[in-house]
């Protein structure tokens, strides 16, 4: 599967390597094209996953704020709830197409 924004592939991995949580696909860190992602100051806390970090994606000179996010440090029980350790996995949304 691929995460694509404005024609640029931001992540690419076999579907078997991704984790699907609440309808969203999370890509393993090794599959993510991190030079296009910059950590954002936006903060969020999920009561069962933990603290979330957001990323702004810059493609062709345009910045797309908070179009990706990840949970680096999962709360106790999150891995068991999902059935897979998804710490550091990146989820793309809004303008990013996952296909």
pLDDT tens digit string along 16-51?
999 999 999 999 999 999 999 999 999 999 999 999
Burial letters 8-40, b for 16+ CB under 10 A, else e: eebbebeeeebbebeeebbbbeebbeeebbeeb
Domain assignment of residue 35, given as a range: 2-98
Residue found under tokens 């992602």? 37
In this structure, what CATH number is given to the domain that contains residue 51? 2.170.150.40
Give residue 2's pLDDT band: very low, low, confident or very high (50, 70, 90). very high
Locate tokens 């350790």: which residue?
A: 85
* Direct distance between the N- and C-terminal alpha carbons of the chain, in angstroms, rounded to an integer: 6
Residue 49 makes CB contacts below 8 A (sequence gap 6+) with 71, 74, 75, 78
Express each pLDDT in 50-78 by its tens digit.
999 999 999 999 999 999 999 999 999 99
| Domains contained in the chain, number | 1
């Amino acid at each position: 599967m691929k995460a694509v924004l404005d024609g640029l592939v931001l992540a690419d991995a076999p579907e078997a390597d991704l984790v699907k949580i609440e309808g969203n696909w999370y890509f393993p860190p090794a599959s993510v094209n991190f030079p296009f992602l910059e950590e954002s100051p936006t903060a969020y806390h999920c009561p069962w996953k933990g603290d979330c970090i957001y990323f702004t994606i810059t493609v062709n000179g345009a910045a797309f704020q908070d179009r990706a996010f990840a949970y680096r440090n999962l709360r106790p029980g999150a891995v068991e709830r999902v059935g897979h350790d998804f710490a550091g996995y990146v989820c793309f949304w809004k303008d990013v197409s996952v296909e």
